[in-house]
Amino acid sequence: MKRLTLLAAALVMVLGMAVSASAAPEVTVSGNILINAVWKSNWDFDDGNNAAGADDDAFQIRERIDLAFTAVANENLKAVIVFRSVRDALGQGDLSTGAGGARGAGGGNVTLGLNQGYIDFNWPGTSVNVKAGFMPVALPSAVGGGSMIQDDNASGVLVSAPITDNVSLLGGWIRFFDTADAAGNDIDDSQIDAWVVAVPLTFEGFNMTPFVVYAPLGENADQTVIAFNGVGGARTDYGLGLLSGNVGKAASTKLDDAWWAGSSFELSMLDPFILKGDINYGIVNGDSDDMDREGWLFDLALEYTGFDFMNLEAAFAYSTGYDNDEDNDGRMPVLADDWALGTFWFGNGLITGDDLGHANNNMGFWALALSATGIQSFAEGLTHDIHVVYAQGTNEDRNDSTGAAVGNLVYGNSLLEDDSMLELDFNTFYKIYDELTLYNGIGYINLDADDDANGWAAGNDGGDAWKFQLGLKYVF
């Protein structure tokens, strides 16, 4: 009996150790609430000629909620789950999705939808990191706040590891889309996948990250303009309408594959001057010339950080445009970009619903931007940003006098060679508390559209657009 008692005690100790070893992970909660009131004027650039006129002159209050849970088992293993509400105007659905996922459809009972959900762990005994699930996937970028090719959530597996003290390697597989038919059954060979390789190089005073992406497109992936609407998330588009940029092609016309390559770099050895830039190239191949799309983007910025009361930056960007004389569209294909200069025309709004955000359609321009950011004001916690942006199109006038969309050259989203845009932004930030910030943004755009071009539909005359906003962001 004594031996049995000792054995039982030993088992209890072992079980206790096992329970301790597999203790529940430490869960932390974070998130934010964004509330933004925006006064709009002539955002359609039609000077009141558009009968619909939804964005000509409007006042909206938009709200978005993010809630994130991080479950940390140990220093080598954690899980991240993020929920996000729809970014809706107050009074139009109460931040919920109704029948069929339509916003404001009535009967909505889903207020938060999955925005991210992935596992993040280090392989035992190594420095190899693995991320798997629905997660942020961003290609390298040094200018514009995000990649012009891909900077959004997507599903896949990413593996990264240091090779030397200065060289790392990142590779992975991303499934951007796998569509289903009306009955909910998978459509064979309809996937949009991508293989990604990047090589971060970090040295004293200099870093760069070259990358390459190969996407074998499923044979049926281009049957439809594919739209992925994550529940509670911002809309992201993939497929024919963005990869090829050719509208109205027969369903029998196929896309074969897509390639992207490029690099970001930053030179800081000349501190307080910092030179940074990006070069991006992309091509989509089809089974006919008019399905091809090929182009590139180059940007460069010089930042001065020598002042203790503000930062100064001058930036230049150039992207190739639509060539009406050739079957090959001269614009770089885009998946889901988050690139912008300024905070109005290209995107990069302060909170939510306060920019034009011509994502994925604005290729074909050159732009020059001057910015003064983090300007210390007369009160503690009060700062200002000033942006001046000038852009001109590199897209040729489309050969269509009907005003119909051709090659995704849609009015207000693409600039023709004789079109130009001037933007002025004055943004103010006041920290009421460390966690609570009050935002004010004043933005002005003058769009000088070529009246003689066939690029825009009748009534789209350009002109002046304004915005005035007040918003609150609470981060916890």
Pairing of strands 236-237, 186-198: unpaired
Query: Which pLDDT tens digit goes with each residue over 102-120?
Result: 444 444 444 678 999 999 9
Bridge partner residues of 37 (DSSP): 61, 470
> Would you list the domain boundaries of the chain?
126-299
- State the fold for domain 126-299: Porin (2.40.160)
Query: Which pLDDT tens digit goes with each residue over 142-165?
Result: 999 999 999 999 999 999 999 999
Judge whether residue 360 has pLDDT over 90.
no
For the segment 172-195, the average pLDDT, to the nearest whole number, is 78
Instruction: Round to whole Å and give the CA distance between 279 and 296.
Output: 7
List the one residue out of 261, 299, 286 whose CA is nearest residue 150. Answer: 261
Top-confidence residue, 88 or 383? 383
Judge whether residue 246 has pLDDT over 90.
no
CB neighbour list of residue 468: distance below 8 Å, 6 or more residues apart: 38, 39, 441, 442, 443
pLDDT-derived band of residue 227, with 50, 70 and 90 as boundaries?
Answer: very low
Top-confidence residue, 174 or 176? 174
pLDDT-derived band of residue 244, with 50, 70 and 90 as boundaries?
Answer: very low
- Of 44-53, 320-329, 390-399, the poorest mean pLDDT is in 44-53
Query: Which pLDDT tens digit goes with each residue over 332-343?
Result: 888 888 899 999
Judge whether residue 326 has pLDDT over 80.
no
- Of 79-88, 129-138, 314-323, the poorest mean pLDDT is in 79-88
Top-confidence residue, 22 or 12? 22
- In this predicted structure, what is the pLDDT of residue 180? 66
Judge whether residue 413 has pLDDT over 70.
no
Q: What is the mean pLDDT of the chain?
A: 80
pLDDT > 90: percent of the chain: 53
Two structure tokens written together for 84: 């996000």
Instruction: Round to whole Å and give the CA distance between 82 and 352.
Output: 18
Distances from the Cα of 378 to the Cα of 269, 309, 373, 400, 420, angstroms: 33, 11, 15, 54, 36
- Furthest C-alpha separation in the chain: 102
CB neighbour list of residue 365: distance below 8 Å, 6 or more residues apart: 317, 318, 319, 321, 391, 392, 393, 394, 395, 415
Two structure tokens written together for 127: 């420095």
For the segment 48-55, the average pLDDT, to the nearest whole number, is 51
Top-confidence residue, 269 or 356? 269
